[in-house]
Structures are given as C-alpha cells and as structure tokens.
Structure 1
Amino acid sequence: MATDERHDDPQHAVALVAATLGGVLVTGQSRMNGELSRTIEAPIQAAVYSFGSGLLLLLALLVVPDIRAGIARIRDALREGRLRWWQCLGGMGGALFVAVQTYAVPLVGVAVFTVATVAGQTGNALVVDRFGIGPGGRRPVALGRVLAAGLAIVGVAITVSGSLGEGGLAVLPVVLAVLVGGGVALQQGVNARVNLESLNVLSTTAQHFATGTTLLLVIAAVQLGRGSYSPTDFDGVPWWAWWGGLLGIAYIAIAAWAVQHVGVLVFGLALLTGQLGSALLVDVLWPTAGREVNLSMVLGLAVTLAAAALAGWFARPRRRVRG
C-alpha cells in the first residue's frame, strides 16, 4: 500500500525564501526606476538606463570563464534544438515590465503598481504551469492552486479599491501594469528553462538583459524617429535611484534558479509576499504620487499573504511512502 506524505525539501524552502527576497528587490527597483523617470521626465530613457546599466555590468563579468561557458551552452542548446528561439526572449517581458514600471510608479505609487502587476502575474502563472512552459513540466491546476490564485486576486482588488475610492487613480498605468505582470509569469518560466541549459544563473541573466536592452533600444529608436524622444541629462537624480539595474540582475538570477524548484505560480506568490510588504513600507517612508497607505492596502496585504501561504502549503513536495 502506498500513501503520500509531505516532507521538507531544503531546496524548496530556500527557493521560497529567495522568492520573498526577490519581491523586496523588485520593490526597490520600482522605487528607484520610478524616481529616475520622474526626475528626468522620460520613462523610456529611464528604462534604457536601468536595463543597459545591468547589461554593462554583466558584460564586464564575462571575464569569468564559468559565465562564458554558460552562454556557450545556451548557444549549443539552441543549435541542437533543446531550446527554442522563443524561450530566449524572456528579456523582452522584463524590458516591457521596466518600461511600464518607470511610467506607472510616479503616477500611482509603488504599492498600487505592485498589486496590479501581481494580478496579471498570478492569473497567467496558472497558464504557464498548466502548459509546462517552465522547466518543471506540466503542473496540474489543482483546486488548492486555483483557490490560492483567486485569493491573491481578491487581495489585489481590496488593495486597489481604496485608491479607486479616492477618485485620483490613473486607470491606464494600472491596466498596463496588469498586462506586463502577465508577461512576468511567462518570463519566469522561460528563463528557468534557459537556466537548466546554461547551468549558470549569471549566464542566463546576461542573455535576459541582452534581449531586453535590445528591445528598449528599438523602442527608443522608434520614438526618436517620430520626434517623441529627445536625449536628456540626468541632473537632479538622487544617488540611490541609480541602482535599479543592479537589483534587476539579482532578481532575475534568483528567479531563474528558484522557479525550477517551486514552479511559476508558487514562486510568484512568494515573490508577492516580499513585494507587497516592502511596497507598503516604501510608500509609508518614501511616498510617490502623494499616495498614502490606507486600511484597504493593509487588508489587501493580509489577504494576499494568506494566498501565498496557501499556495506554499499545497505545493510542498510529496514523496511516496510504502507501508
């Protein structure tokens, strides 16, 4: 007779902690890039700087043989068909996320931007796991996972409801944040797949940043051709707003490793734990767009944290025990 018994997997637990830390990093990046965009009044240029500075740092790290070897393994996997070309485009989702981030955060604040992206990310994560886009293969859409995702979306709705009641919430930034949040779930899945081939998170991250920077440069070139883009200086940018690219590197590296162990949905919900808690703290200490933290934000945080805990419980690994 065989029964299922839950057990503790050290890598699973570490991946959940890492995902929570990743959420803190994303919040910090949002505040930095939002301030950079607000100061220079040019969201695309701020996004190009954020992604481009990260890429330059990663290119400097190519002196490390293991990173170069990882990039060579990605190339070989593409050539031999173990990777599809579209699986190497995760950086485009990241680029669009940063572009919307630099536009939306100055308008709606870090907390509202965060919960809007989480809505898109949580919904699409079920699809990504169901179709096996990540390295863990197809993951069943079990009732517990659906309940966790639904509870997270309820938490998002509660959080945003307070701002809607104020009558001052810009709709377009929120809609765009939901859309790029959906792209983040896909990005996490394909980057984790690339990391299985590269065997080096910094090699995976370098490939991600190269693709994303290319897309942002194309967008900037289109704006320049249409006359809607003009180079600007960076006078007045505070010292702490320059480091969004570095935090982006750390986040992508964490995601590329952790998604392999917990799947896209659970990673996203653990990420949410760090994101929302730190986003509320940032908006309390360094508010943007005149937004103040209110009761609905705190209640929404509590509900979404419960969703993350529920998803983590249902996703804990099982082993077969014979008896």
Structure 2
Amino acid sequence: MIAVLVGLIIGIWQPIQTSINSRLKVSMGSPYLASLFSFGTGTILLAIFNFSIYHTIFLFPKELFHSQPIWFWIGGTFGVIYLTSNILLFPNLGSVQTAIMPILGQIMMGLLIDNFSLFDSIHQPFTVIRALGSILVILGVTGAVALNSILTEHKLINSNPKVKGLPFWRLLGIIAGMFSAAQTAINGHVGVVVESSLKSAFLSFFVGTITLSIIVLILHPKLKVEKSVKGNPWWMWTGGLIGAFCVLGNAYIVPIVGTGLAVVIILVGVTTGSLIIDQFGILESKKNPITVVQIISLLIMILGVIMIRLY
C-alpha cells in the first residue's frame, strides 16, 4: 500500500515538474540547456544526500563494473531519449498524441518487462485481466487528457500539408514510452543490487547529465536568459529537485510492485496532477475546470490499476 501511495505522489509531481521545466525552457531559450540544468541540479542534490549518508563519493564497488551488464549503467540515457523524443514529437503530433503515444509504449513495455522478467525484474505473467486493466488505463488517460481536443487536433494534423510521416512520429512516440518504462525497470534493479534507492537515483541522474552535456557540446545551443512580462519566477529553477525525488520514488517502488504496475500507478498520478494544474491554474498555466467526463475517466483508470494489481 505504501508503494502505491508513493507511486501516486511522484506521478502527481511529474506534470508539475514538466510545467516548471517548460517555463525554464522559455527563459533559457533552449530545451537542451533547460534539461541540462534540471538534470544537473538533481544530480547535485542526490550527490549531497548520498555523501551525507554514506560519507563517500565512491558509491559503487569496482566489482559492479565487471559483473553487471551494460544496461545497468544507462538508465539515465534512456530518460534523456524519452525527454528529447517528446521535444521532437510535439510540433509533429500536437499535445494530445504526444501524451497518448508514449503512454501506449509505457504500458506495453511495462507488461513485456514483467512477463519476460527483462532487466531482472519481478516475473508477473501476462494475463487477460491485466490486458483489460491496461486497456482501461489507456481509455481513462484518453478521456481525462484528450477527449475535449482530440477531434480538433485530428483535423488540424490531417489538414496541414506540412506535417508528413505521421506513422513514423506515432511509432517514435510509442518507442519513446518504451524507453521510459525500461528506465523505470533499470532504476529499480540498480536499487536492489546496490541496496539503495538513493544510489540508484543518483546514477540515473548522473548518467543523464553526462548524456545531455555531450548533446549540448555537439549542438552548441545559445543561452538566452530572457524575462517575461511577469519576470522569471524563483520556482522555474526547481524542476531538477522535484525530478530527483520522482526518480528516487521510482527506484523504490519497482522492486515491490513490478514495472508494469509501477508505470500505470504513476500514470494515474500524472493524470491527477495534470487535472489539478488545469483546475487551479498552477504555475502560470491557464485554468481549465475539471469536467465530469474527466472524473469518470480517472475512476476508469483506477479500476484498471486495481485489475492489474489483483490479477
């Protein structure tokens, strides 16, 4: 029960982190620099926590570099791939499909990881009930996030001659979601091996920071710290700190409930957090009051989670 609660909480915080990082991107003028700052601050925070507890900067025994597979070390890179793919998807698919396609990939990959024990995860066989539960989660997400605008965006996409290769972009969205689920599984496994979710979260952020540093060195984006009419709010610098706690929570719950269930629990939290942001206009966002349809959709998602959890 505690693991489920943790998953819901970090899920709720994820759209808040996304809003914060989006605001930072506007001020810095580059999504890559904004992401690098976010990953960098999260890495520093987790390094301080680790040093405070373990009193050393050498968090991983040398034996692990010889005994563990390559994927053990690249969970953070998978996270960067997911983040970068979303940046590329948005102008080609619009906000609705950019949200839905990765979710399809996350749920599909989560079930595959559980069924085949990929990344040394908990074995949870694929069943008809789990499949139906996953479908309910997808339907719930669609209703809660996209129902009001999906028809409009569909028309815009198909009537815009400049948008080409929609099957490719949709496939990329699904693959990006699969990388996200794989990162979740890897972080959980690392936490079990090193017996510390904190160390696992630090490794993920550290690798992600290195990956983004290489991307920035290659692309050379220009730093443009701009001020909006309202100025630059203090909270736009806190996305990495929130992200650090989200990854830490991921590493904690995966060994307990499995990757597939962890993914769908977090998705329920993400949807809830998104609706809260819309309802109250948090972090300079436009107010969009929650509708009855969205509440029903959220309940459908919860029913799907229960089906996956119990069966």
Deviation at 1:76, TM superposition (A): 2.3
Count of equivalent residues? 293
Rate the CA distance shift 1:204–1:185 in 2: closer, same or farther, 3 A: same
| Residue in structure 1 matched with residue 199 of structure 2 by the alignment | 203
Q: Distance in 2 between matches of 1:147 and 1:62?
A: 41
Q: CA deviation at 1:54?
A: 0.8
Q: 2:233 aligns with which of 231, 238, 248?
A: 238
Distance 1:116 1:283 in 2: 21
Give percent identity, aligned residues only: 22
Alpha-carbon distance in 1 for matches of 2:22, 2:249: 22
| Contact kept in structure 1, 2:82 and 2:180, CA below 8 Å | yes
User: Structure 2: any 5+ residue segments left out of the alignment?
Assistant: 158-162
Q: Give the unaligned 5+ runs of structure 1.
A: 1-12, 315-323
AA of the residue aligned to 2:30: A
**What amino acid is the match of 2:65?**
L
Give 1:256's match in structure 2, choosing from 251, 254, 259. 251
Tell me the equivalent position of 1:183: 179
1:17 paired with 2:12, answer: no
Deviation per residue, 1:102-131 (Å, 9 max, x gap): 67789966x876555432211111111122
1:77 corresponds, among 64, 85, 95, to: 64
Deviates more, 1:125-134 or 1:161-170: 161-170
> 2:40 matched to 1:52?
yes
Q: Which moved more, 1:34-43 or 1:183-192?
A: 34-43
Deviations along 1:215-250, one digit per CA (max 9) or x if unpaired, are 1112212212xxxx2122254432122111111111
Distance 1:64 1:143 in 2: 47
SS of 2:124 mapped into structure 1: coil
What RMSD over aligned residues (CA atoms) do the two structures have, in Å?
A: 3.1
**Superposition deviation, residue 99 in structure 1:** 3.8
The 1:278/1:299 distance shift into structure 2, 3 A limit, reads same
8 Å CA contact retained: 2:27, 2:225 = no
The 1:105/1:304 distance shift into structure 2, 3 A limit, reads farther
- The alignment status of 1:273 with 2:259, answered yes or no, reads no
Shift of 1:101: 5.6
SS of the residue aligned with 2:278? helix
Q: CA separation of 1:276/1:161 partners in 2, compared to 1, >3 Å: closer, same or farther? A: same
The residue number in structure 2 matching 1:133 is 118
Superposed counterparts of 1:81-96, under 5 Å: 81=67, 83-96=68-81
The one of 279, 283, 290 equivalent to 2:278 is 283
* TM-score for both structures, normalised by structure 2: 0.82
Greater mean alpha carbon deviation, residues 133-142 or residues 183-192:
133-142
Query: Which residue matches 1:320?
Result: none
Q: Distance in 1 between matches of 2:53 and 2:275?
A: 41
AA paired with 1:231?
A: L
Tell me, yes or no, if the aligned pair for 1:68 and 1:203 is still in contact at 8 Å.
Answer: no
* Whole-Å separation in 1 of the counterparts to 2:141 and 2:298: 8
Query: Scaled by the length of structure 1, what TM-score is found?
Result: 0.79
Distance 1:177 1:34, change over 3 A: farther
Q: Which residue matches 2:218?
A: 222
